[in-house]
Amino acid sequence: MPERKDKAKYNIPLWHKPNLSIEEAVAYSGIGRDKLYELTNPEDCPFVLWIGNRRMIKRKKFDEYIERQYSI
């Protein structure tokens, strides 16, 4: 049986990626998973990108949002 090749994995640093998964955003920001889900639930969230029913975090917009906040 021929060896099956897995999808190519790219090792791109999180701070270079334009969009982050929730798990990547947790690692990137130190904000908990549940809190990120809570922050991205509103329809007017400026840093969430919906791909079907999967949410991605727009990293630059997320950075700008975090810089403006006093507490989360």
The SS3 of residue 71 is: coil
- Summarize pLDDT for 34-59 with one digit per residue, the tens: 999 999 999 899 999 999 999 999 99
> Could you write out the three-class secondary structure of 5-20?
CCCCCCCCCHHHCCEE
4: confidence class by pLDDT, cuts 50, 70, 90: low
Average pLDDT, the chain: 89
14-68 CATH, one of 3.30.420.10, 3.40.190.10, 3.40.50.300, 3.90.105.50: 3.90.105.50
Tokens (6 digits) for 14: 């999180």
Between the two ends of the chain, the Cα-to-Cα distance in Å is: 53
The residue ranges of every structural domain in the chain are 14-68
Q: What number of residues does the chain have?
A: 72
